[in-house]
Amino acid sequence: MLRRIYLSPKGRCSRRFYWRFFVIPSVVIGVSLGLVAVTLDPHVLLFVIIGVFLVWPMGVIYIKRWHDIGGSGWFALLTFVPIVGLIVWIVLGFIPGSPGTNKYGPNPAEPRGVAQEASFYA
**Taking Cα atoms as reference points, which of 62, 68, 71 lies closest to residue 90?**
62
Going from N- to C-terminal start, the domains of the chain cover 2-121
pTM exceeds 0.85 for this model: no
Phi and psi (nearest 5°) for 9? -80, 5
Express each pLDDT in 4-46 by its tens digit.
777 788 889 889 889 888 888 888 877 877 777 777 666 667 7
pLDDT tens digits for 44-75? 677 777 777 878 888 888 999 999 999 999 99
